[in-house]
Structure 1
Amino acid sequence: MLPADNLIEEATKIYKVLSNSTRITILYYLRHQSGAVDVSTIVSDLGLAQPVVSKQLGILYRYQLVCKHKQGTRVYYLLDDPHVVEMIDDMLNHVRHEIKGEPHPKNLYDKK
């Protein structure tokens, strides 16, 4: 049974969001933090321009991939949906197999 069209459309939008390497880098960065991180720390640690980081965080927030809270003048971000990064991990593993020319692990459709 196929998923509903509206679910497929939303998944497509999220895949488009994840098609940006800066956004993936930010997600991985947040994954490895012990708590929420402010924008200036992200800028400093990743060596990216503040407007770039802010724009990408805004897009990630809009698609509920990160959450945020404000303390005074600082905005802190946290990974909102860790399983999305796990999905990216799966894609990176797929890419590693492709680059190395290795076969993929057996799937349910392989007979034996």
Structure 2
Amino acid sequence: MQDKMKIIEEVAAIYKVLSNERRILIITSLMDADKSLSVNQICEETNLNQPVVSKQLGILYKYQIVCKEKVGTSVLYGVDDPHVVEMISDMIQHVKHEMVGKPHPKNLF
């Protein structure tokens, strides 16, 4: 039970990190890109300023939601965890269903 509680606490912490609109915007911009992006490229994609993007990327990196790689003088960010991509994609589909009033697929379990 103690291991289960540790996992639940970590899941809750990650959901808390993902509850920020700016972070979701950054993640979806990285998901939509066909390559890793620099902070400046993320700023252009999201219309957020550089200090905001840098701060949010730091939080996302801390929780291993984004990865980073130094290339020359640039640091490039990406989303390489298929769990994160799937979770965000599923939530986007969920919201799209609600917005157009379509019923959600039935639980198959």
TM, length-normalised to structure 1: 0.82
Give 5+ residue unaligned stretches, structure 2.
Answer: none
Deviation, structure 1 residue 107: 1.7
Match of 2:103 in 1: 103
The separation in 1 between residues aligned to 2:44 and 2:102, in whole angstroms, is 37
Match of 1:13 in 2: 13
Deviation, structure 1 residue 101: 4.0
1:70·1:76 contact (CA, 8 Å) conserved in 2?
yes
The 5 Å alignment of 1:23-102 reads: 23-102=23-102
Counting helix residues as a fraction of each chain, which structure ranks higher? 2
Q: Deviations over 1:4-54 (max 9, x none)?
A: 111111110110011011111111111122222111111122211100000
1:31·1:82 contact (CA, 8 Å) conserved in 2?
no
Poorly superposed stretches of 4+, deviation over 4 Å: none
Moved more, 14-23 or 82-91: 82-91
3-state DSSP of counterpart to 1:48: coil
The separation in 2 between residues aligned to 1:71 and 1:108, in whole angstroms, is 45
Q: Which amino acid aligns with 2:66?
A: V
3-state DSSP of counterpart to 1:19: coil
The separation in 2 between residues aligned to 1:82 and 1:108, in whole angstroms, is 22
Q: Which amino acid aligns with 2:95?
A: V
The separation in 2 between residues aligned to 1:96 and 1:32, in whole angstroms, is 17
Deviation, structure 1 residue 105: 1.5
Deviation, structure 1 residue 68: 0.8
Deviation, structure 1 residue 57: 0.4
3-state DSSP of counterpart to 2:68: strand
